[in-house]
Structure 1
């Protein structure tokens, strides 16, 4: 393993919306939540961490679509699971605005939100130079993703520095089966892989890989930022890191069944009152894997059942208090839950089989035998359907066969904007030769009546139509969603106005007819 020297290394039924200010292509509602298992450790305390369980599930292939899903919820706390597919890039991650979100360009921003799951599809999604940042957020699950090469300075991309960073009143976060990777240390523009500060509480990092960085992560940004934690780290691989695995200031950490390999300068750094319960870990080919380092403000540790394999130690000094070679406890620490600990001798094999994205979400039950847990929300049919890769360039010559009278013909129309030469009324006149198109690549067209009508079926005709949703204007309830033209049925609802929010595939969509029927 190449070492990197420090300094040079280093609501069910509520769907995600389309933001009317951006073109959201390929965002589709699915019936499957891919999350497996349940939160463990401290994330299971304080009421537990369930993320978006019980809410809608959508699929996103860009960072912008992730933001749009957050912004499209009726409120910032409406549960949602966002299944992420493919590679998320800086260029594809734009700010989206809305009353239920607070996003930013170039970074996945979970700010002032709650009840959210972000989960990679299949072998896992990749966030390439795009960090995931949590601010004033609670009940968040992040699972089966890779976050790589996020920089805080320098080129090619800078966006905050932390692969996953949490601060300012964050609570109940479960990060599971993720891979966090850098390609150097602070001098190369990288910061921490997994940081918690400014009042971040009840966090678990499990079955994950942290690799090739100067800094693994911290709990507390300074000696006075001591109000963080508790946090649990278990079944993680820490490999080729200089330090901070973690740096623990003032908080309590339960650290068990992790495999530490090639920790180059210092490992678990409990300082300024930090307390580390260190159980059944395997430390290999590393230096100063536990102690208080770079300060005269001590921390404390409780060590049990660990294995040290080729670990070297520095001499103690006024600002250097290594736990070895004796590795004796300096405190007796307890946690408010019972963990299923694997024996330290099998930790390298168990972690190799389970940790990181794309490992099938396997876990261990304490018997050194990895298994795959049952999904928290078992899949239902139909399976998620990807949007078509191409759209018709010309409108159909005849509309799809309706059921019952077209109620749109007796209503009026308005919308968000209209392109030159088009009108809202063109979409409800029964004439496929005329059409409505927004001024940009997305927009809204509405049908309204003077008294309530019961609708249960929509027929969308036109061209260049991307993802869309049909919304009851009075309540904000999502009636149905789809991609492209065609027919969709839904539970009949009495309403005086419905909104079709639609995006284009490569430009402005054209709606030749928006027909609404009883069912």
Structure 2
């Protein structure tokens, strides 16, 4: 495939390079620490919370990031790594330890879980250095810039991918990041956001991908169809040849993205892939949706998209463009709740929210960007002096009517011999337990119910098995509270139809005898 991106970018990058220099020289807005909660498919399969509930450390070098991972008690101990400054080959070395598996020249998240990497302070830039996720789960990457990662030339990193995931990866949320290159494959660059060899339950949100030959792929070949359940929303794809994304098998949900200057093709659904494509805005681009460069067809369900100065090629042996009047040829069921901005306002909403150092702003689903409530921004410096995580809620007697009695319940999974209904039967001798060490349990009502307090009770003799958790308004995805251990949890009174208790870590098999809910 020809690589015109270098020529086409010559003028565009002159402007971009000047803009980037200005961004570095001027003060960048202070970023809040781990803000918001995962969206899209990353909310499934038990959810994605990263290092929530774990210790917080500050890192200003790649070696310090590796040190933070390697000095944890175990490879699954939750940790939040706040990054500031420029991370590059000169300050990124391999670190050894029982809780890590790192390498020189790449940020290696390998055979680990429960990690958040978030840019803070004046910003975090990974310069010519990629992030590699392999054989890992429950990872959050937020508010960082990754630029000019090469697979050929010098220096090289991560196979040329800005962010690359491979080999049994589960539950990754990448949010408010900027991923950029300076050309195509001929200039030594590969994909900005790639997944292969069994990667599932991933969300890319509020991010910028630009100035590259390849936006990203799901599946490394026509036979690599073990990947899927990927959500892309509120992202900007700009000055890219193709792969926005390339899908080989699996399911993707692609909504409220802004596509500008896609030179060869855009969303390439092939090899049996199915994509739900809602309320996106495509501008000044070619062949933005279809099956391209193969006879192995893919499928799409389309609604609400805007095609502004989009051109379409004629169908051929290996090209099946969806336009000029795209029609659905499949249906895709989405298991999570979400709110669509109208396509007409997507360019403005994405401009205000997408990318690193935008204050982690998000849309309210009514075309209005919102600034989240900031978290802590000034932890004690140094990866060897973490601050304590959330404390356990205080257990104790309760008063009022337990609203869980007579309500419904469900969950992510249940161990043999346990039941979702056991958490609302008023008995401490019965319980629910997830099929693994983590999972979620919910109480639900047929109509909106006001809740301001929850009590989590463990069966007698099993206290202390519950580790870090989040209490979530299932209707909106908002996190009402977080902490560790069982007991009483209070929060601002909230009207909802379903409330979810997510267990993100545990010592042994966690058990919940009662999930009590109260109005006050």
TM-score, L = length of structure 2: 0.67
- 1:384 lines up with 2:379 in the alignment: yes
SS at match of 1:67: helix
**Distance across 2 between alignment mates of 1:267 and 1:78:** 39
**Distance across 2 between alignment mates of 1:386 and 1:44:** 31
Shift of residue 333 of structure 1?
1.3
- 1:357 lines up with 2:356 in the alignment: yes
Query: Residues 214-242 of structure 1, C-alpha deviation per residue, up to 9 Å, x if partnerless?
Result: 00000000011001011000000000000
2:47 counterpart residue number: 48
**Distance across 1 between alignment mates of 2:195 and 2:155:** 25
Query: Residues 86-138 of structure 1, C-alpha deviation per residue, up to 9 Å, x if partnerless?
Result: 00011110000000000000100000000000000035300000100000010
Unpaired runs of at least 5, structure 2: 10-30, 383-520
Query: Residues 319-345 of structure 1, C-alpha deviation per residue, up to 9 Å, x if partnerless?
Result: 000000011111111110121110000
Mapping of 1:49-448 within 5 angstroms? 49-375=48-374, 378-379=375-376, 383-386=378-381
**Distance across 1 between alignment mates of 2:8 and 2:34:** 34
Closer, same or farther in 2 for the Cα pair 1:384/1:158, shift >3 Å? closer
**Distance across 2 between alignment mates of 1:61 and 1:261:** 34
Query: Residues 381-412 of structure 1, C-alpha deviation per residue, up to 9 Å, x if partnerless?
Result: xx42447xxxxxxxxxxxxxxxxxxxxxxxxx
Root-mean-square deviation (Å) = 1.7
- 1:5 lines up with 2:4 in the alignment: yes
**Is the Cα–Cα contact under 8 Å of residues 132 and 163 in structure 1 kept in the other structure?**
yes
Query: Residues 336-392 of structure 1, C-alpha deviation per residue, up to 9 Å, x if partnerless?
Result: 0121110000000000000000000000011100001235xx439xx42447xxxxx
**Distance across 1 between alignment mates of 2:245 and 2:371:** 28
Higher helix content, 1 or 2: 2
SS at match of 1:187: helix
Query: Residues 457-508 of structure 1, C-alpha deviation per residue, up to 9 Å, x if partnerless?
Result: xxxxxxxxxxxxxxxxxxxxxxxxxxxxxxxxxxxxxxxxxxxxxxxxxxxx
**Distance across 2 between alignment mates of 1:229 and 1:106:** 28
Greater C-alpha radius of gyration:
1
Unpaired runs of at least 5, structure 1: 11-31, 388-519
**Is the Cα–Cα contact under 8 Å of residues 40 and 231 in structure 2 kept in the other structure?**
yes
Query: Residues 40-72 of structure 1, C-alpha deviation per residue, up to 9 Å, x if partnerless?
Result: 000011100000000000000000000000000
SS at match of 1:230: strand
TM-score, L = length of structure 1: 0.68
**Is the Cα–Cα contact under 8 Å of residues 202 and 231 in structure 2 kept in the other structure?**
yes
SS at match of 2:91: coil
Q: Which moved more, 1:329-338 or 1:97-106?
A: 329-338
Closer, same or farther in 2 for the Cα pair 1:199/1:8, shift >3 Å? farther
**Is the Cα–Cα contact under 8 Å of residues 256 and 280 in structure 1 kept in the other structure?**
yes
**Is the Cα–Cα contact under 8 Å of residues 123 and 357 in structure 1 kept in the other structure?**
no
**Distance across 1 between alignment mates of 2:43 and 2:121:** 25
1:478 counterpart residue number: none
**Distance across 2 between alignment mates of 1:158 and 1:95:** 14
Closer, same or farther in 2 for the Cα pair 1:122/1:227, shift >3 Å? same
Aligned residue pairs: how many? 360
Query: Residues 132-180 of structure 1, C-alpha deviation per residue, up to 9 Å, x if partnerless?
Result: 0000010000000000000011124444210000000000000000000
